[in-house]
């Protein structure tokens, strides 16, 4: 916005690299930069909101989230759900395979335990409002069978043991904030190369 059109209280904020705009009846400060993007003829503008300019109080910075990020495992569990879940559920057709059992099978495969402290290491814990009750040896055996089936799926999907171990470790390192409602992960190139080799996603 041109400086001549701004009220006196907002003019001091209109400086190099910053713009003041009238948005829904209030004057807001934005940081404006530009960068070259390959394939584009002109520089691309990048803008970030700094805060609202109040006539009496001056600049009121934007509020930042007070929630501390809590990073948990997501890559390996998400990979298992995406690539192996349907196949494992079909293999378990003679046995009950609830969502809880499947998740606990994934936890057992990843950590070797299904205690609450291990469940909380993974984003999958978001599905549990409390520590799941595991009733009886039949339920334990079902969870163990799911973990073994995941091992078999990995062995079949990535026959080379070195590639398989490497992919699992890289996947395990991919983390997200537990507070993220719909997380996604970006595979590093070395992981994408291994998965592409075996036509996996």
Is 30:48 a contact under the CB 8 Å cutoff?
Answer: yes
Mean pLDDT of the 75-90 span: 93
With residue 156 as reference, give the H or E element that holds it: helix 136-157
**pLDDT value, residue 64:** 66
Question: Using the 8-state DSSP alphabet, how is residue 122 labeled?
Answer: B
Please check whether residue 66 lies inside any domain of the structure. Answer: no
Q: What is the pTM of this model?
A: 0.64
User: What integer pLDDT is reported at residue 95 of this predicted model?
Assistant: 59
- Determine the structural domain holding residue 179 and report its residue range: 71-197
pLDDT band at 94 (very low <50, low <70, confident <90, very high): low
Domain end marker among 12, 28, 61: 61
Average pLDDT score over the chain: 88
Contact by Cβ (8 Å): 75, 170:
yes
Question: What pLDDT does residue 34 have?
Answer: 79
CA nearest neighbour of 11 among 62, 60, 58: 58
In this structure, are 89 and 52 located in the same domain? no
Long-range contacts of 46-53 (CB under 8 A, 24+ apart): 47/19, 50/18, 52/26, 52/27, 52/28, 53/9, 53/10, 53/13, 53/20, 53/26, 53/27, 53/28, 53/29
Query: What percent of the chain is modeled with pLDDT above 70?
Result: 94
106 and 34 fall within a common domain: no
Predicted local distance difference test score (pLDDT) of residue 93: 67
Q: Output the pLDDT for position 89.
A: 86
Between 130 and 88, name the one with better pLDDT: 88
Q: What is the pLDDT of residue 67?
A: 60
Same-domain status, 170 and 137: yes
| pLDDT given for residue 54 in this prediction | 92
**Residue bearing tokens 């163990």:** 144
> Per-residue pLDDT for 125 more than 80?
yes
Instruction: Report the domain count for the chain.
Output: 2
Looking at the structure, do residues 76 and 135 belong to the same domain, yes or no?
yes
Considering the domain architecture, whether residues 54 and 89 belong to the same structural domain is answered as no
Look at residue 155 in the predicted model and tell me its pLDDT: 97
């Amino acid at each position: 916005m041109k400086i001549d059109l701004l009220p006196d209280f907002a003019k001091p904020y209109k400086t190099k690299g910053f713009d003041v705009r009238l948005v829904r009846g209030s004057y807001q400060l934005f940081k404006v930069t530009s960068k070259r993007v390959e394939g584009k003829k002109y520089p691309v503008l990048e803008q970030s909101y700094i805060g609202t300019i109040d006539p009496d109080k001056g600049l009121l910075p934007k509020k930042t989230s007070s929630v501390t990020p809590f990073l948990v495992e997501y890559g390996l569990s998400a990979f298992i759900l995406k690539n192996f879940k349907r196949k494992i559920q079909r293999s378990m057709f003679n046995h009950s395979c609830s969502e809880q059992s499947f998740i606990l099978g994934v936890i057992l495969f990843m950590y070797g335990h299904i205690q609450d402290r291990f469940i909380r290491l993974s984003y999958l814990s978001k599905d549990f409002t409390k520590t799941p009750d595991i009733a009886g040896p039949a339920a334990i055996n079902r969870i163990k069978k799911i973990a073994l089936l995941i091992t078999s799926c990995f062995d079949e999907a990535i026959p080379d043991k070195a590639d398989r171990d490497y992919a699992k470790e890289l996947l395990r390192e991919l983390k997200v904030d537990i507070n993220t409602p719909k997380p996604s992960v970006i595979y590093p190139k070395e992981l994408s190369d291994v998965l592409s080799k075996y036509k996996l996603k």
